[in-house]
């Protein structure tokens, strides 16, 4: 695979005609990373595997037609934001209206004209980039530069569903700065803001994988979503967070447990079940945080869901 592919948009073609796939691939392969599937069922599976930036979807296919595929994609949080362009020989106005009302962003009729296909794909890829950029701006905490509570909640729901489907472990932490109100009272709110920024950086640096997330959850509270983590992994990561914050050596003379800023960490881990929802997992992490505080603060409590 070309090393430049990581910088290209990913396009998934779902079409039962191999000749159509070859034609579309020939038009787009120089500008995008192309994947394909020849039926709706395997196409949906491929969507979850590769998370494409755009889907080119045939309408008329055996077993599961394009409308059924689109309906399934639009019903799932993980896939509903992916733009879909219908490519079909059905060229009536009624069919085009039906496709757009179903949620497709565009409707291209066969025979395919390469220049038109290329232009429309480029337009929708660019529109998706702009939407993603604006969405990301709305999900950043203004003070610390990390994710905010809204982003955390969406991300947790996403990974809860992925972990449920794949039967993978998932861990979440809730982290609270010990005696932060006393810190603000002693050093002032500007120093408190600097403290929050330093803690955010320390937590972020403790998470090594690109899909681990730290967010400011509110006030002096932070939260992490850490996929694919067993109890031992979760305990090791929590310990690293606690150690990195300790190493900052931020003076806190009003604290009764340490001359420096410390944190309490509550966490849960396990394989999600259909009997629960993602917010229940967060509630249990909060309960673990409460226990960490009850044990004297500057503690870690990790429990199984």
Give the pLDDT confidence of 252-285 residue by residue, as tens digits: 999 999 999 999 999 999 999 887 788 899 999 9
Instruction: Determine the pLDDT at residue 6.
Output: 53
Residue pair 214/197 in contact by the 8 Å Cβ criterion: no
Q: What is the pLDDT of residues 152-172, one digit of tens each?
A: 999 999 999 999 999 999 999
Is the pLDDT at 3 greater than 90? The verdict is no
Average pLDDT estimate for 119-134? 94
Which pLDDT belongs to residue 305? 85
pLDDT, average across residues 18-22: 95
Which CATH number does the domain housing residue 274 bear?
A: 3.30.70.270
Catalytic residue ranges: 220
With 80 as the cut, is the pLDDT of residue 62 above it? yes
Mean pLDDT of the 211-228 span = 96
Give the end of a domain, one of 81, 112, 137: 137
- Rounded to whole angstroms, how far apart are CA atoms 98 and 101? 5
User: Considering 137, 159, 181, which residue would you say is the last residue of a domain?
Assistant: 137
**Where would I find the beta strands (DSSP E) of the chain?**
9-14, 32-37, 54-58, 84-88, 106-109, 170-177, 213-218, 221-227, 263-270, 300-304
pLDDT confidence band for 5 (50 / 70 / 90) = low
Q: CATH code at 37?
A: 3.40.50.2300
Residue 295 CB: number of other CB atoms within 10 A?
Answer: 12
- Structurally, the chain folds into a number of domains equal to 2
Calpha distance 180→80 (Å, rounded): 40
Average pLDDT over the chain, rounded to an integer: 94
Whether residues 157 and 300 share a domain: the answer is yes
User: Residue 274 sits in which domain range?
Assistant: 149-304
For the segment 88-95, the average pLDDT, to the nearest whole number, is 90
Supply the pTM of this predicted model.
0.74
**Residue-level pLDDT at 8:** 84
pLDDT digits (tens, 9 = 90+) for 24-41: 999 999 999 999 999 999
Confidence check: pLDDT of 2 > 70: no
Please name which of 195, 173, 302, 201 lies closest in space to residue 254, comparing C-alpha atoms.
195
Percentage above 90 pLDDT, the chain: 89
Residue 142 located in a structural domain:
no
pLDDT band, very low/low/confident/very high, at 69 (cuts 50, 70, 90): very high
Give yes or no: residues 211 and 164 share one domain: yes
* Confidence (pLDDT) at 1: 38
| Averaged pLDDT, 79-96 | 93
């Amino acid at each position: 695979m070309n090393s430049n592919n990581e910088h290209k948009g990913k396009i998934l073609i779902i079409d039962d005609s191999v000749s159509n796939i070859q034609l579309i691939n020939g038009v787009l392969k120089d500008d995008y990373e192309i994947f394909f599937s020849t039926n709706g069922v395997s196409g949906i599976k491929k969507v979850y595997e590769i998370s494409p930036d755009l889907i080119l979807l045939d309408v008329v296919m055996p077993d599961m037609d394009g409308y059924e595929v689109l309906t399934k994609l639009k019903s799932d949080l993980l896939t509903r934001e992916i733009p879909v362009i219908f490519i079909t020989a059905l060229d009536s106005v009624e069919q085009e209206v039906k496709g757009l009302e179903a949620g497709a962003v565009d409707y291209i009729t066969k025979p395919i004209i390469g220049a038109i296909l290329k232009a429309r794909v480029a337009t929708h890829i660019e529109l998706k980039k702009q939407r993603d950029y604006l969405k990301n701006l709305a999900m950043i905490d203004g003070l610390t530069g990390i994710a905010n509570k809204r982003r955390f909640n969406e991300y947790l729901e996403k990974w809860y569903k992925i972990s449920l489907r794949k039967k993978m472990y998932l861990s979440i932490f809730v982290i609270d700065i010990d005696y932060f109100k006393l810190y603000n009272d002693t050093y002032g709110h500007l120093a408190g803001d600097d403290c929050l920024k330093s803690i955010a950086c320390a937590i972020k640096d403790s998470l090594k994988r690109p899909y681990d997330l730290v967010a400011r959850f509110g006030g002096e509270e932070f939260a992490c979503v850490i996929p694919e983590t067993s109890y031992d992994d979760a305990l090791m990561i929590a310990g690293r967070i606690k150690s990195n914050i300790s190493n900052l050596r931020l003076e806190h003379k009003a604290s009764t447990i340490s001359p420096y800023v410390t944190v309490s960490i509550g966490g849960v881990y396990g394989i999600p079940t259909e009997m629960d929802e993602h917010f229940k997992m967060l509630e249990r992490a909060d309960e673990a945080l409460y226990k960490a505080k009850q044990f004297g603060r500057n503690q870690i409590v990790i429990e199984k869901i």
